[in-house]
A and B are shown apart, each in its own frame.
Chain A
């Protein structure tokens, strides 16, 4: 009889311990720090570095995943060569594929030009690169390659609503070591590979929509960073080529491109 009582007591004790363990472990998981300060520091190092550049040029190669109307995924791969002179000059030349397009911003106007079709459109634009990027996106839906990283003071924008930040690990490409970081916020995850050392520029940037089951991404590889390119103000001015026709931008539908 005594043995039984002891066994029962032991069973109750085990039950108590188990319950406690389950509760404690779930709580511990729920409270685990999701934003790793090391990841945030490295991101800040990159944005500080980019903020400090007066001018730079970089070549980008993107892979844009989209859903075809049939429901299948289709990838587009625009490449671009971007030259920036702060605070108000930007030029992007899209190359590769069938895309042949040039974008000019001279501090007063933005221009889109398709040399092979001999057409261009011009629009008055705000006076800084940051405002111009927002303006271009919101009024006419123009996309600029890796615009997230072209913003000056991108750090607070990238960190906004971030619920998870972690250092995935280190990787080496062409003898250069990179920190691979992952950040998450509601609806969007992004990964960025940042070079170690004195010039922490981003080498790869992947933005994934997590609000849809298809988890579509835009992957951008950034190569040939040049922090002291030879820039001439004239290269940001658009001069219509002979025989080119001026056309218009289609206004963005209010329900369309801008989010809701």
Chain B
């Protein structure tokens, strides 16, 4: 009877040790995957993802580019719904001019006059956009 108890005890200890090892194992087995999981928490859609070290002196230009592009396309898409006919706040960015715009030159500067708003063409990164403005 006693030996059986001892064996049972040993088996239980063995079992417990394995249980204790499981989280430790999974962490060590795939450190990359673990690292990825850990970082996911700070995720914000369209936000810059670069680390501070990736700013000016690192080669992860493409990574930053992606973040910049995301930001820019998000801006454009949110605001592209603007149409002619309503007066928009100055500085509104659209990716395309509304229909029925006429080029207009004020003080040597080119604008597009579309119903209620004056637009000025500008580069936002590589993207050509139109910004509502007040001709001076």
Taking Cβ atoms with an 8 Å cutoff, the residues of A that contact B are: 1, 4-5, 7-8, 11-12, 15, 18-19, 22, 26, 29-30, 64-69, 71, 76, 94, 101, 112, 114, 117, 119, 121, 133-134, 137-138, 140-144, 146-148, 151, 154, 157-158, 160-161, 164, 184, 186-188, 207, 209-213, 216, 218, 220, 245, 247-250, 252, 256-260
Is the Cβ of B49 less than 8 Å from the Cβ of A211? yes
Taking Cβ atoms with an 8 Å cutoff, the residues of B that contact A are: 3, 6-7, 10-11, 13-14, 17-18, 21, 24-25, 28-29, 31-32, 35-36, 39-40, 42-43, 45-46, 48-74, 77-78, 93, 110, 120-126, 128-129, 131
Shortest CB-to-CB span from A153 to chain B, Å, is: 10
Shortest CB-to-CB span from A244 to chain B, Å, is: 11
Docked pose: A189 CA to B3 CA in angstroms: 56
- Give the total number of A-B pairs whose CB atoms are below 8 A apart: 191
Q: Which of B45, B60, B69 has the most CB of A within 10 A?
A: B60
Is the Cβ of B69 less than 8 Å from the Cβ of A259? no
Is the Cβ of B51 less than 8 Å from the Cβ of A137? no
| Interface of chain A: mostly helix, strand, loop or mixed | mixed
Measured between beta carbons, the chain A residues less than 8 angstroms from B71 are 256-257
Q: Which 8 A-B pairs have the closest CB atoms?
A: A259-B50, A157-B59, A141-B125, A257-B68, A4-B3, A207-B62, A143-B65, A147-B61
27 contacts between A and B (CB under 8 A): A7-B3, A15-B13, A22-B25, A26-B25, A68-B73, A117-B128, A121-B122, A140-B123, A141-B125, A142-B125, A142-B126, A143-B125, A148-B62, A160-B58, A186-B35, A187-B50, A207-B63, A209-B63, A211-B42, A212-B49, A218-B65, A245-B121, A247-B123, A257-B67, A258-B50, A259-B48, A259-B54
